[in-house]
Structure 1
């Protein structure tokens, strides 16, 4: 059975993010063309440095920020890691409860824990939250294929933070000890 022209057109719109153009963009672009067009959401709570809970329309979603990995914080299932509580506090400072955000996704929609995988942008000023966390030394880059639109930006931001001794890179030393 062949898809109708309408279905083909819808697939093109979804895959190109309504841009009408190519599905590829430079990896440091804040607007991934391959992402599903941004969903408006409101932050309910910050779980830890790389996980938030948001309200999208009439449902609540647990969202894992793509491209970064922050140390484990107090209150989680895993042992606390160096700078985990500070990373959580930094994410809370960027995304206090009731903050309006826009979520975009990459190739995969959910992780193995059924969390929505997303790039998070603050609605008020367009701040790319995932990248801001890495750039300030609160996260290591963690790019898991095929979700790699911003891989170069995350690796670059984490490397600059490490080179400048920011955040966890000053407090905890090597990432080999930090995020195993």
Structure 2
């Protein structure tokens, strides 16, 4: 019985350790595939870019602005406001598009969004999680494991 438990734990460790690419453990520089300019923040997990592209922040789910629950709507407003302050319209962001699932069912680009804060690229997706403004939404296949963002990720100064 103990041997089976040990084997299962080893298997779980292998799966978690291989679920992100090297360099995505946030101990190294982030992988920024391209840059873009924000045109509008739609809500706490979706932004519009100049040129019409919509980006859905991968690995997270922010509360819905149209919720019938007042507390959820308030949290949704807080999440949207945080994103608007972190990357207001006109600001330049870095994107790392999910190579395993580049678009969601609505055609939005699924990506990590990085924001330059004092010459340090911060993962906006992770910041929303760390501040309690979003929840983890891990839908394989995805090259990103949002559970790893919660380990040793410093909060921004914003």
Question: Quick check: 1:63 aligned with 2:55?
Answer: yes
- Residue by residue over 1:123-168, the C-alpha shift from the partner in whole angstroms, topping out at 9 and shown as x without a partner, is 45311111111111101111110114233224558xxxxxxxxxxx
Size of the aligned set, in residue pairs, is: 126
Which residue matches 1:10?
none
Question: Quick check: 1:113 aligned with 2:112?
Answer: no
CA contact (8 A) 1:101 1:123 kept: yes
**The one of 127, 131, 136 aligned to 1:136:** 131
Q: Which residues in structure 2 correspond to 1:22-101 (within 5 Å)? A: 24-25=21-22, 28-29=25-26, 31=30, 38-55=33-50, 59-73=51-65, 76=66, 79=68, 81-82=72-73, 83-101=75-93
CA distance in 1, matches of 2:63, 2:143: 21
Are residues 123 and 155 of structure 1, via their aligned partners in 2, closer, same or farther at CA, if it must alter by over 3 Å? closer
CA distance in 2, matches of 1:31, 1:147: 17
Which residue matches 1:102?
94
Which residue matches 2:148?
153
CA distance in 1, matches of 2:129, 2:148: 9
The structure, 1 or 2, with the larger RCO (C-alpha pairs under 8 Å, 6+ apart) is: 2
Q: Where does the alignment leave 5 or more consecutive residues of structure 2 unmatched?
A: 1-19, 153-158
TM-score of the pair, normalised by structure 2: 0.69
CA displacement at 1:118 relative to structure 2? 0.7
CA distance in 2, matches of 1:79, 1:46: 21
CA distance in 1, matches of 2:128, 2:48: 17
CA distance in 2, matches of 1:142, 1:154: 12
- After superposition, the CA RMSD in angstroms is 2.5
CA contact (8 A) 2:130 2:150 kept: no
CA displacement at 1:31 relative to structure 2? 3.0
TM-score of the pair, normalised by structure 1: 0.61
Q: Which residues in structure 2 correspond to 1:9-20 (within 5 Å)? A: none
Q: Where does the alignment leave 5 or more consecutive residues of structure 1 unmatched?
A: 1-22, 158-180
